[in-house]
Amino acid sequence: MIHRPGDQPVTRRASDAVRVPRRNQPTRLVAVSLVTGGCGLVYAAYRGYYGLGGTAGMFGTPASPAQWRAVNLAAAAMLLAVALLPVAALPLWPRRWPRRVLLASCWVLAVGFVMHALVSDIQRVLSLAGVVHLRYPFFTAIDKRAADIQDLTFNEAWFLAEGLLWAVLALMVLGPSPARRWWAGTAIAATALLTATGVLSTLHVIGRIIIF
């Protein structure tokens, strides 16, 4: 770069490492945002189905059908909000402060969803092996094997996929920068710590802890 006489050197702040997506990136960013939102809508619809009284695919008898419906409707509402967020965020990424909030939200969702999937997958495998016995407070009668298999193949597969998609969104926006390495490093560390805590709680090495 050629500097003219009198030009002052430009210093960059660490916060500037988080860059606005360039013109050759929106297509990928929009695509991943739509996939992330679509994935969320699928699971929101699934929980909403049971919230509205659906029974197909159930593996037990709820102790209180009204409570079961209420829990699923609340979950569907939260999942719907999560599903709409990546698309609603698209016009906000170029703005500095909204971008910071969105990156923090991506971090929380990625860590929370991936940790949930890992802990629950380990619990279900241990349950199938007869090592642990999981409690089902919402059911009076339940097919535990069917519940374990359904959770492994659908519920936790969704949590893992959704968490990874939120991570991909954040990493795409951050680009190759120190901020990207910090985001990924802290997310991996937090996920590992929370997963280890959940597994130790499952094995009764430490007290019962509800993480997510």
List the domain range (segments joined by +) for residue 148. 25-202
**Range 15-22 average pLDDT:** 45
Q: Is residue 13 part of a domain?
A: no
Phi-psi region of 62 (alpha: psi -120 to 50; beta: other; left: phi over 0): beta
Residue 210 has a pLDDT of 59
> Mean pLDDT across the stretch 159-178?
95
Q: Which residue has the tokens 């960059």?
A: 12
Share of the chain above pLDDT 90, in %: 67
State the amino acid at position 89 in one-letter form. A
* Range of lowest pLDDT (1-10, 21-30, 81-90): 1-10
| Percent helix, strand and coil across the chain, each to the nearest 5 | 70, 5, 30
Whether 54 is in a domain gets the answer yes
66 part of a folded domain: yes
In a domain, 89, yes or no: yes
- End-to-end alpha-carbon separation of the chain, Å? 51
pLDDT of residue 67: 92
Distance (Å, whole) CA 109 – CA 190: 12
Total-model pTM = 0.83
Task: Find the helix or strand (DSSP H, E) in which 139 lies.
Answer: strand 139-142
Q: Mind listing the pLDDT tens digit for each residue in 59-102?
A: 888 999 999 999 999 999 999 999 999 999 999 999 999 999 99
> Region 181-190: what's the mean pLDDT?
96
pLDDT at 166: 97
Does any domain span residue 16?
Answer: no
Is residue 207 one of the residues assigned to a domain? no
CB 197 within 8 A of CB 209: yes
The answer to whether residue 155 scores a pLDDT higher than 90 is: yes
Q: How far apart are CA 139 and CA 84, in angstroms?
A: 31
Q: For the ranges 6-20, 68-82, 142-156, which has the lowest average pLDDT?
A: 6-20
C-alpha dihedral, 118 to 121 to 123 to 127, nearest 10°: -170
- What is the model's pLDDT at position 48? 96
Residue 15 CA, chain-centre distance (Å), reads: 25
In a domain? residue 18: no
How many domains does the chain contain in total? 1
Query: What's the whole-number mean pLDDT along residues 140-167?
Result: 94
Q: Examine residue 15 and state whether it is found in any structural domain, yes or no.
A: no
